[in-house]
Amino acid sequence: MRLLTIGAGKGARIAEMFSQKGARVNKINLFKTFAVVKSLEDLRMLKHIEDGKKFYAVYRDGEVDVRSVFNNILSFNEIFEASLVICDLLDDFSCHASIKIGEEFNSTTEEPTICLAISPPLDSPEGVNVTFMRIKSLLRSFDFLFLFESKDGYEDEILKTFNTLSLVGEIDVKRQVSGEVVVDTSDFINSLSGDGISVAGIMSEKLPFKILRRLKRAGMSETIAERTERMVKMFDQAVKNVSARAEIGSAKKGLIVFSGDPDEITMDGMFECIKSMERINPSMLVRYGDYPIPNSNELNAVVVFSGIKKFRL
């Protein structure tokens, strides 16, 4: 899934991270990254976004006009299946610019619009209040909104989560392999609800190199059981590690994606994870799939809960 990615204000540092470390398929970065900032100093600090793809916008009296910037971005004629606008909720410029960019997308393109919003810690009524009010405004301009709470390691969680999700629907022509259950971009989009926010959880596990795994191989039944058990444990950890303190039991939709060596992903494991997700909310519509990376020594599990309207302190 190719994402036209725009970092607004302080959100530009996350866009820069995708420019450097975004998932690649057939040597092509799936994140087409741009940035919009309010000062020359901010512009100069973005070392890893191509010159010509980072823009300065005048911000005065709470107003910002992004139309010229937006037209410049579209003039690059990037092929994309959805847009991803990154907003820091504590940055006034980031919020105002993100809202305007979302409006421009909605009036110009037909592709789904996603906002990645970074909130202050949701450990106080004040933090929840600020987050709630700004999310309310952003949801008017975007189809979907992912919320990540700023906490230790959240940037790495954003990178791993969206790298895994962006691989949905991609085909590596060299590897020529498909997953146990193939999910594509439409599955991902249909797993999101615009009625509320989305949160995501990520769990990664390093595995021994493939040759060592083969040497250690036990009986077939025991091996499948170990892989299934690992998937279930990773799913449970991902659920505990969701990106913001939200009531996941109220989610209307959910998505489970595993990426890694296809030999380490079992259908038994996938079905157990689905059952666990349905136990959280029996009425939740759950989609699932995997992205195979042959011989990879890392397994990633991502869970998404969407259509949430409540926070928990």
Taking alpha carbons only, the member of 228, 211, 241, 227 closest to residue 304 is 241
Whether 140 and 8 map to the same domain: the answer is yes
Least Cα distance to 286 among 300, 298, 274, 303 occurs for: 274
Rounded Cα gap, residues 156 and 163, in angstroms: 10
The single-letter DSSP state of residue 259 is E
Residue 187 forms part of a structural domain: no
Residue-number span of the structural domain to which 158 is assigned: 3-166
Residues 144 and 33 in one domain: yes
Predicted TM-score (pTM) of the model is 0.93
Mean pLDDT for 158-179 is 79
> In terms of domains, do 13 and 162 share one?
yes
Same domain, 161 and 109: yes
Count how many domains the chain has.
2
Ranges 118-127, 139-148, 203-212: which has the least confidence: 203-212
- The stretches of 205-294 forming alpha helices (DSSP H) are 210-216, 220-240, 267-280
CA dist 139 to 23, 28, 73, 198, Å?
Answer: 27, 30, 22, 11
- CA separation for the pair 251, 276 (Å, rounded): 14
Claim to verify: residue 143 and residue 274 sit in the same structural domain? no
Is the same domain home to 14 and 72? Answer: yes
pLDDT 10s digits, 39-80: 999 999 999 999 999 999 999 988 999 999 999 999 999 999
| Both structure tokens of 85 | 């606008």
Of 166, 185, 208, the residue at which a domain comes to its end is 166
Q: What is the mean pLDDT of the segment spanning 109-129? A: 92
Task: Report the 10 Å Cβ neighbour count for 229.
Answer: 14
Domain-located, residue 172: no
pLDDT digits (tens, 9 = 90+) for 284-307: 999 999 888 888 899 999 999 999
Choosing from 118, 147, 166, the residue where a domain stops is 166
Q: How confident is the model at residue 9 (pLDDT cuts 50, 70, 90)?
A: very high
- Do 15 and 71 fall into the same domain? yes
| Whether residues 42 and 157 fall in one domain | yes
Q: What integer is the mean pLDDT of 15-42? A: 95
Backbone angles phi, psi at 305, to 5 degrees: -115, 125
- Residue 204 and residue 144 share a domain: no
